[in-house]
Amino acid sequence: MAQFDPDPNYDHRLADRTIAYLQTRDWRLFPFSQQFTPEQQKAFVQDLREGLADLTDSGSARKTSAVGFIMRDERLRSAVAEWAAAKGGWPAGSDPRNPAASLRSLSS
């Protein structure tokens, strides 16, 4: 019986980089964050934390994360991609100064 090793469902380097950023706030880990305002920094950090939580919860809910095939980092990748595409600005729909923004901080 052959076992196929599918492509990983998560990028371990991205998870490591995210954790390092959360610990240090070193913009060199995510260069687009260099000019963030304190509000953007807070929102980006929240998105990263939620992405990591989703990553760890994705396997632990089924008790299969140790296998490494069930965990997925879609939410983390999506958050980083949206912030990177904004090139130092707010991702579309998330600027809290815009009353029509669809995304809001839970603490607001």
| Higher pLDDT among residues 56 and 43, named by residue | 43
Answer yes or no: is pLDDT of 98 > 70: yes
Least confident of 7-16, 52-61, 77-86, 87-96: 52-61
Answer yes or no: is pLDDT of 61 > 60: no
What pLDDT is stored for residue 8 in this prediction? 65
Tokens of 19: 């954790």
What pLDDT is stored for residue 11 in this prediction? 86
What pLDDT is stored for residue 87 in this prediction? 93
What pLDDT is stored for residue 108 in this prediction? 42
The full 3-state SS of 11-55, as one line of letters, equals CHHHHHHHHHHHHHCCHHHCHHHCCCCHHHHHHHHHHHHHHHHHH
pTM of the model: 0.75
Distances (CA, A) of 40 to 21, 25, 34: 14, 12, 11
Q: What share of the chain is helix, strand, coil (3-state, %, to 5)?
A: 50, 0, 50
What pLDDT is stored for residue 46 in this prediction? 94
How many Cβ atoms sit within 10 Å of the Cβ of residue 63?
A: 9
What pLDDT is stored for residue 5 in this prediction? 57
- Buried b / exposed e over 8-37, threshold 16 CB at 10 Å, is eebeeebbebbeebeeeeeeebbebbeebe
